[in-house]
Structure 1
Amino acid sequence: MAKGHRQLAQPSLGVPIGICYGRVANNLPSPTDAVNLINTNGITSIRLFNPVAESLQPFSGTGIQLTIGVPNEDLPSIAAGDVTTALEWLQTNIFAHVSADQIRYLVVGNEVFSKDTFYTPHVIPAILNLHQALQSLNLSEKIKISSAQAASILSNSYPPSSSSFDPNILPELTHFLQFLRDTSSPLMVNVYPYFSYINNPQFVSLDSALFRPAAGSVLNDQNLVYDNLFDQTIDAFIYAMEREGYGGIAVVVTETGWPTADGDAASGENALAYNGNVVKRSLENVGTPKRPGVGVEVFLFGLFDENEKKRNEFEKHFGIFGVNGVKAYDLVFH
């Protein structure tokens, strides 16, 4: 095994699949009912985008592992403060509602480097202050810190071996990658083959997006064979990190999914095909062509449809469950 691979913390067989619990909707079940639904279905890992007391408190004592977002708008104040500021933020927003034992990751900012660049200068200082705060509580090994990035931080992603980061963000990104390596934390990425397919149908086949090997959709890149876009995207990030000298950092997919309605190829059948394959590959530690056998931790998007999403109609229809608690399609999580 290559030297870079030995640095990776490999999940044990049966790594739990996480689900994103988004709440941009006006018709959702109560957080208590949502937590009951999560428990009933044996889901043991949840990502919350905002640490809202109402949605956090019902998780307390359940044993469900939480990945909690530090909202972009909170970054400037945390960055401008010191360790005390960060401690107060953690206590007020998280530890007052759930035990530190239930927190798996802090996601400091979402898609800042490429989509919400006003906050870019605040990401690293906020991360460092929060990390020092966790160190002071002896929690920095238990709770890992990262920041979720959009695929658009790559200026080139095809073929994966030619991938590179957007040079405009490299100064900040290099500091970020250095922190991840120093703390054995993962690069967090939001990966949506669905978007790649609908935005570039002349170049991206539906077969490749849905894990259906077919003539013309299989890529051979430096003797590694890719039969799906998910693997290509993960390995593109790995190659890009290697290019900058950070080859040993693990990758966690903080969002991925497929819509069930109101978009090209949006259906329950396709959502089941996509998410089902993602789940199976994670549970079986399939890994990717570049890192075979190194299971990829994944958070599926999302728990419910969100009827107040603003941009595209299909973005309202990523829910694995209906708001009535009935599965939109028969996805198995373990």
Structure 2
Amino acid sequence: MHFSNIYKTGKALMASILLLLVVLMPALQITGAQSVGVCYGRNGNNLPAEGEVVDLYKSNGIGRMRIYEPNEATLQALRGSNIELTVTILNNELQALNDAAAATAWVQKNVQPYSADVKFKYIAVGNEVRPGAAEVGFLLPAIQNIHSAIVAANLQGQIKVSTAIDTTLVTNAYPPSDGVYTDPANQFIKPVIDFLVSNGAPLLVNVYPYFSYNDNPGSIDLAYALFTSQGVVVPDGTRYPSLFDALLDAQYAALEKAGAPNVEIVVSESGWPFEGGNQATPENAATFYQNLIKHVTSTTGTPKRPGKAIETYLFAMFDENLKAGNADEKHFGIFTPDKQPKYQLTFG
């Protein structure tokens, strides 16, 4: 081939490669490995349409989303987005899903029609089920039935089935290495953990330094909760740089004592409100979210799990003005309902 033809062919090939990179760039930017997730609650009457919300995730490079119900409009908007998705099944649905046929129908309605182009990652069966709740007896059978339906749909390689708990199931958390499930919690969470071990699934845990700080403000330094202190050396000699790490390692310690040292934890919620409670200010919220993102996307890890990023979902995308509970519950949003950022955050 003449040299000039080789040169032209090389230029054309390079141009094609560059064009392909331009086409793929949005997908390359929206990858779960490079981004924290953000929880998308819809308990408000002033929120943007679902398609606009998905566009907001994409334009900000947010590669993971957690939703609290399998909303059809959200699932349609997620098609082709490359956003990894966690779908929650709320506690009031657990009893019905103790029927295997109902669990199969749930998967056939809410997962299978979208599975080709929506990146389902986890199904959280139940959110913060606690000892004494009516749902305790329904939790494990619902998890097992949803898992069986996922296997029947041949999606077990893509989707892991788990549950989301809060940190109150663990006691003796100081030092974190002494963390252990309370006796009432152990009765129902141990069989769930055994299921996770058998199926290689993580445990989802909602971790809130904000609430832990407010439960004991006389003993916990605010800077420790906001990642801005020099750290704390706990009684076993371990230095903890932040309350977040201490809370997370107490959960790992409890898993170890429950015979599950290899189960990973996904932080399925963590956030700080900007008003409505003690130390709930825009300044503190901005500091918390900025430092949390920096920490969990680094390879610092925690003292018990060093050297790895921590898969984490910020709570939440928007304020939810219809949410029940204390005033601070309505003010965790990192964007306003008109899609403006409250804080300067880089998600990946």
TM-score normalized by structure 1? 0.90
Alignment correspondent of 2:105? 88
1:54 corresponds to: 73
**Aligned residue in 1 for 2:157:** 141
Alignment match of 1:205 (pick from 201, 221, 238): 221
| Alignment partners' CA distance in 1, 2:320 and 2:153 | 36
Per-residue deviation, 1:13: 10
Aligned pairs (5 A) from 1:115-264: 117-214=133-230, 218-264=232-278
Contact 2:94 2:135 in 1 (8 A): yes
SS of equivalent to 1:287: coil
Structure 1 pair 118–100 and aligned structure 2 pair: CA distance change class (3 A): farther
Is 32-41 or 219-228 further displaced after alignment?
219-228
**Secondary structure of 2:65's match?**
strand
Q: For residue 108 of structure 1, what is the aligned residue in structure 2? A: 125
Unpaired segments ≥5 residues, structure 2: 1-30
CA distance in 2, matches of 1:305, 1:117: 27
Mapped to 2, the partners of 1:88 and 1:140 lie a distance apart of 16
Distance in 2 separating the partners of 1:183 and 1:276: 34
Give the distance between the partners of 1:40 and 1:101, measured in 2 at CA.
18
- Is 2:324 the counterpart of 1:310? yes
Distance in 2 (CA, whole Å) between partners of 1:295 and 1:62 is: 23
- Do the aligned residues in 2 keep the contact of 1:53 with 1:97 (CA within 8 Å)? no
- After TM superposition, give the deviation of residue 101 of structure 1 in Å: 4.9
Task: Please point out which of 59, 62, 71 is paired with 1:40.
Answer: 59
Do the aligned residues in 1 keep the contact of 2:271 with 2:288 (CA within 8 Å)? yes
Give the C-alpha shift of residue 23 in structure 1: 0.9
1:123, distance to aligned residue in structure 2 (A)? 0.9
Deviation by residue 1:44-90 (Cα, 9 ceiling, x = unmatched): 110001112133221122221110011212111111x22x4322111
Q: Are 1:65 and 2:81 counterparts?
A: no
Larger CA deviation: 131-140 vs 226-235: 131-140
Q: Is the 8 A contact 2:86 2:121 kept in 1?
A: yes
- The count of aligned residue pairs is 318
Residues 120-167 of structure 1, C-alpha deviations (whole Å, 9 max, x = no match) = 111111111111111122211210111000111113211101111110
Task: Go from structure 1 to structure 2 and tell me whether the alpha carbon gap of 1:187 and 1:221 turns closer, same or farther (over 3 Å shift).
Answer: farther
1:187-236 alpha-carbon deviations (Å, 9 max, x no partner) = 1111110011122101111011001124xx51234332102100000000
Give SS of 2:313's match. strand
**Shift in Å, 1:317:** 1.0
SS in 2 for 1:252: strand
Tell me the TM-score normalised to structure 2 length. 0.87
Q: Deviation of residue 99 (structure 1)?
A: 3.7
Identity of matched residues, %: 37
Q: Is the 8 A contact 1:285 1:293 kept in 2?
A: yes
Q: 1:302 to 1:13 in 2, by over 3 A?
A: closer
Show CA shifts across 1:275-320 (max 9, x none). 1122112221211011111321100000001111221111111111
Is the Cα contact below 8 Å between 1:286 and 1:292 reproduced in 2?
yes
Does 1:78 pair with 2:97?
Answer: yes
Taking the aligned partners of 1:98 and 1:181, their CA distance within structure 2 comes to 25
Q: Does 1:276 align with 2:326?
A: no
Distance in 2 (CA, whole Å) between partners of 1:201 and 1:154 is: 19
C-alpha separation in 2, matches of 1:323 and 1:13 = 24
**Contact 1:65–1:104 (Cα < 8 Å) also in 2:** yes
Aligned mates of 1:269, 1:94 — CA distance in 2? 40
Whether the 8 Å CA contact 2:143–2:161 is kept in 1: the answer is yes
Q: Based on CA coordinates, which of the two structures has the bigger radius of gyration?
A: 2
Give the aligned residue type for 1:149.
I
Residues 86 and 133 of structure 1 are in contact (CA less than 8 Å); yes or no, is this contact kept in structure 2? yes
Unaligned runs of 5+ in 1: 1-11
SS in 1 for 2:111: helix
Q: Secondary structure at the match of 2:95?
A: helix
